[in-house]
């Protein structure tokens, strides 16, 4: 027996002399071979021994090669079969390939014809085994991700429940304190109490945004046909309270119909439009434009404003969690909104990017596959 054979081959041929000769020849070329003159003996051997390839004669009295290969594949679906046949039965050999054989070799055997066939067959065998291993890893990884998602959901619930409760207490007791000693408080003390309440509310908003960010990565996409123009009008009504008393000039281009998750894309538009409203606060009039470009492979939607803008050297930070380019006392926010935008668009197979200049406004883009 060879120490490191190239492969283990089962050879089945009722012509015993030819079978033994082929076994010996292939052993001389680095293969481990086991030969049988009957199909039933070969099937029994398959149950007891692992083989890489099987070479079977096409025409045998007990069971022909096609039937044998079909029986073998029921026992080991990844075993690669090759038919051995004479010149006069090539058409039948081709039919055998349709039934599961990878290739055929002609009798009388010529080694220079056999070896390339074996090489191709072994490559297929390796691919099949690699696919099995890959599928196993995918199953394991899927199970790990499902477990991690369950842990994340439990953690999210814990964060939501356990952190909100003390925040409510802070806000509640600060209000009670303000009510009980409010008249005796100095302006400075009142300012301290207001800061306590505001900080607690900001923390509550941050918790809500983090939970939303976590959910965005796990929520199932429910795609449907959505007219972006109608969705935009709905979102504009939603953000209207934030524009009260403002002089804002809205410019709305024609938007197409797309296949998206409507609730998630609504969140994208809400985040981008509220950002534009917020960062144009120093402008009178503020100008906000929503438009679209139709590219060969994608639809690009943009939201452009004439707000305070940003330095392009920090553009890579815009869509990161907690990344803010302006001070909290200038513009409120938690730094999670744009991260949500990127996560949602990425899940739809699109891209997100931005352009801007300090004090010259900014344009935010997202794309969706056509």
Task: Give 250-281 pLDDT, tens digit per residue.
Answer: 999 989 999 998 888 988 998 899 889 888 88
Q: According to CATH, what is the number of the domain 8-109?
A: 3.40.50.2300
105: which DSSP letter? E
Asked if 19 and 54 touch (Cβ cutoff 8 Å), the reply is no
Tell me the CATH class for 224-369.
alpha beta
Tens of pLDDT, residue by residue, the chain (370 residues): 567 788 899 999 998 998 999 999 999 889 999 999 999 999 999 888 889 999 988 888 888 888 888 888 888 888 888 888 876 666 766 776 766 788 878 888 888 888 988 998 889 888 988 988 999 999 988 888 777 767 766 776 676 667 777 888 888 888 888 888 767 778 888 888 888 888 888 777 777 766 776 666 666 778 899 999 999 999 998 888 888 888 999 999 989 999 998 888 988 998 899 889 888 888 989 999 999 999 889 999 999 999 888 877 766 777 765 555 555 545 455 567 788 888 889 889 999 998 888 888 899 999 999 8
At 20, which helix (H) or strand (E)?
A: helix 16-28
Asked if 307 and 333 touch (Cβ cutoff 8 Å), the reply is no
Helix (H, G, I), strand (E, B) or coil at 224: strand
Specify the pLDDT at position 162: 73
Asked if 102 and 75 touch (Cβ cutoff 8 Å), the reply is no
362: which DSSP letter? E
Q: Give the whole-angstrom CA distance, residue 124 versus residue 315.
A: 48
Q: In Å, how far are 273, 275, 355, 367 from 303, measured between CA atoms?
A: 7, 10, 11, 12
How big is the CA angle at 206 (ends 290 and 145), to the nearest 5 degrees? 90
According to DSSP, the residues that pair with 226 across neighbouring strands are: 258
Q: Give the whole-angstrom CA distance, residue 131 versus residue 195.
A: 60
What pTM value is reported for the model?
A: 0.52
Q: Which of 297, 292, 295, 278 is nearest to 362 (CA)?
A: 278
Residues 6+ apart with CB under 8 A from 369: 297, 298, 299, 348, 349, 350
């Amino acid at each position: 027996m060879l120490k490191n054979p190239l492969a283990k081959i089962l050879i089945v041929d009722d012509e015993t002399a030819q079978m033994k000769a082929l076994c010996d020849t292939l052993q001389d070329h680095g293969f481990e071979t086991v030969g049988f003159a009957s199909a039933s003996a070969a099937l029994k051997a398959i149950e007891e021994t692992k083989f890489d390839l099987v070479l079977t004669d096409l025409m045998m009295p007990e069971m022909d090669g096609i039937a044998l290969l079909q029986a073998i594949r029921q026992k080991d679906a990844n075993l690669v079969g090759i038919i051995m046949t004479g010149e006069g039965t090539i058409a039948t050999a081709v039919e055998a390939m349709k039934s599961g054989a990878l290739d055929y070799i002609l009798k009388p055997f010529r080694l220079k014809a056999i070896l390339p066939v074996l090489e191709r067959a072994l490559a297929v065998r390796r691919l099949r085994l690699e696919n099995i291993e890959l599928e196993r890893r995918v199953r394991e990884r899927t199970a790990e991700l499902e477990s991690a998602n369950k842990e994340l959901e439990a953690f999210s619930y814990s964060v939501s429940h356990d952190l909100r409760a003390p925040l409510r207490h802070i806000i509640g007791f600060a209000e009670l304190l303000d009510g009980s000693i409010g008249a005796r408080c100095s302006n400075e003390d009142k300012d301290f109490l207001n800061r306590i309440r505001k900080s607690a509310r900001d923390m509550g908003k941050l918790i809500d945004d983090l939970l939303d960010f976590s959910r965005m990565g796990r929520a199932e996409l429910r795609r449907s046909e959505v007219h972006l123009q109608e969705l935009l009008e709905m979102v504009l009504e939603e953000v209207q309270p934030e524009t009260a008393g403002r002089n804002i000039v809205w410019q709305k281009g024609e938007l197409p119909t797309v296949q998206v998750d409507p609730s998630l894309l609504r969140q994208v538009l809400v985040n981008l439009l509220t950002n534009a409203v917020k960062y144009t606060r120093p402008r009178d009039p503020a100008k906000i434009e929503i438009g679209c470009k139709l590219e060969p492979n994608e639809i690009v939607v943009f939201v452009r404003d004439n707000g305070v803008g940003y330095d392009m050297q920090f553009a890579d930070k815009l869509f990161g969690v907690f990344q803010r380019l302006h001070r909290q006392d200038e513009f409120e926010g938690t730094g999670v909104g744009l991260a949500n935008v990127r996560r949602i668009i990425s899940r739809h197979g699109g891209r997100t990017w931005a352009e801007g200049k300090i004090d010259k406004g900014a344009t935010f883009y997202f794309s969706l596959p056509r």
